[in-house]
Copies of this chain bind each other. A is one copy, B any other.
Amino acid sequence: MPARIGKYTTRLDRSPSVVSFASVVSKKESEGPLGACFDVVNQDTAFGEKTWEKAESRMQETAVQKALEKGGLSAGDIDYIFAGDLLNQCISSTYGIRATGIPFFGLFGACSTMAEGLALSGLFVEGKLAERAMAATSSHFCSAERQFRFPLEYGGQRTPTSQWTVTGAGAAIVGEKGQPPYLRHVCIGTIEDMGVTDMNNMGAAMAPAAAATFSRFFEDTHTSPENYDLILTGDLGKVGSELLGKLLREKGYNLEGRHNDCGLMIYDLEHQDVGAGGSGCGCSASVLCSAILTRIREGALREVLFAATGALMSPTSVQQGESIPGIAHLVHISSQPEGGC
């Protein structure tokens, strides 16, 4: 029986397992510090397709297929798939998942999508609504640039706070309690808006949402950062990560030595010219569904809080003078099915 603890957190007493996971990236990501961790690396950023949007769909499809294959499963073994992405009307997910025939819940959570889908998958297994559920998402540097900023051919200058959209995808299958990693808690975010209007500083727009979700989770579970090996955000980058640390210190929580961000892990910020770090749905998805889940499975990481943040804006809303609201969903992932923190 799922237990709601506090206002925002649900304890997953049945400890659903992540039974399989897979990641797909392209050239630049393969040259970063996690290069060796990804399942599929395609040096062709077009993934053999004629448009960037189709390339992104192909990536998401590949991640889904690879996760099924690694788990010895077929599409028919999955009750539901939760997926979404950054593109208008989430077309990478639609066309990427079309051929699977899996009952499909379309999501829009911007860069929080991996956490949203993973949380829903965990909740569905916990609530006995599914035997197995899957979460998938993707992003592509080139499709994101032309949709949210400028066509690549324009060669626009980038500001120092801007981030680099990861060309990557990830997929994770959640099932009944079996092997680690186990999903132990989820904490679903609310829309937070601190009035940031700079489309080139998404980290700052999203950090308040992450701070809100983390502090609610610590409060609901009566735990603190010291109870976790790794407190992982999705794509706050350098600027957003510093702001998150500051906001949580103000609330009495010290993340020092425990926090990392997928956007800081996937690239070498000194040598890869990626501004304040990686971003996009595919950033947290590809890092989680490679290095992180593998390390938890092997016991090298034991208690991990994974919170992906999304900036829930569009170019239209920004042009109309609206501020950029953020959201952060958290999943507590553990190497143990019970006990621990």
Tell me the A residues contacting B by CB distance below 8 Å. 1-2, 4, 8, 10, 50-51, 53-54, 79-80, 84, 86-91, 94-95, 97-98, 100-110, 116, 120, 123-124, 126-129, 188-191, 193, 310, 312-317, 320, 322, 325, 327
Beyond A10-B129, A88-B316, 14 additional pairs, beta carbon < 8 A: A53-B317, A89-B314, A90-B108, A91-B312, A95-B317, A98-B325, A103-B190, A104-B188, A106-B110, A107-B107, A123-B124, A123-B127, A126-B127, A126-B129
Whether the pair B108, A116 counts as a contact (CB closer than 8 A) is no
Min CB–CB distance A124 → chain B (angstroms): 7
Whether the pair A53, B127 counts as a contact (CB closer than 8 A) is no
Give complex CA distance A127, B14 in Å.
13
Please indicate the chain B residues that have their CB under 8 angstroms from the CB of A107 in the complex.
105-108
Please indicate the chain B residues that have their CB under 8 angstroms from the CB of A129 in the complex.
2, 10, 123, 126-127
Whether the pair A128, B316 counts as a contact (CB closer than 8 A) is no
Please indicate the chain B residues that have their CB under 8 angstroms from the CB of A86 in the complex.
89
**Residue of chain B at shortest CB distance from A87:** B314
Give complex CA distance A116, B103 in Å.
11
Please indicate the chain B residues that have their CB under 8 angstroms from the CB of A325 in the complex.
94-95, 98
Whether the pair B106, A109 counts as a contact (CB closer than 8 A) is yes
Give complex CA distance A105, B191 in Å.
10
Whether the pair A105, B116 counts as a contact (CB closer than 8 A) is yes
* Set B190, B312, B315: member contacting A102, Cβ < 8 A: B190
Most B CB atoms within 10 A — which of A8, A80, A95, A109? A95
A89-B188 contact in complex given A107-B105, A116-B105, C-beta closer than 8 Å: no
Please indicate the chain B residues that have their CB under 8 angstroms from the CB of A314 in the complex.
87-89, 91
3 smallest beta-carbon distances between A and B, as pairs? A127-B127, A89-B314, A94-B312
Min CB–CB distance A153 → chain B (angstroms): 17
Whether the pair A127, B188 counts as a contact (CB closer than 8 A) is no
Please indicate the chain B residues that have their CB under 8 angstroms from the CB of A10 in the complex.
129
* Set B1, B106, B124, B190: member contacting A116, Cβ < 8 A: B106
A2-B116 contact in complex given A95-B322, A103-B188, A193-B98, C-beta closer than 8 Å: no
* Set B51, B191, B320: member contacting A53, Cβ < 8 A: B320
Whether the pair B128, A2 counts as a contact (CB closer than 8 A) is yes
Give complex CA distance A98, B4 in Å.
23
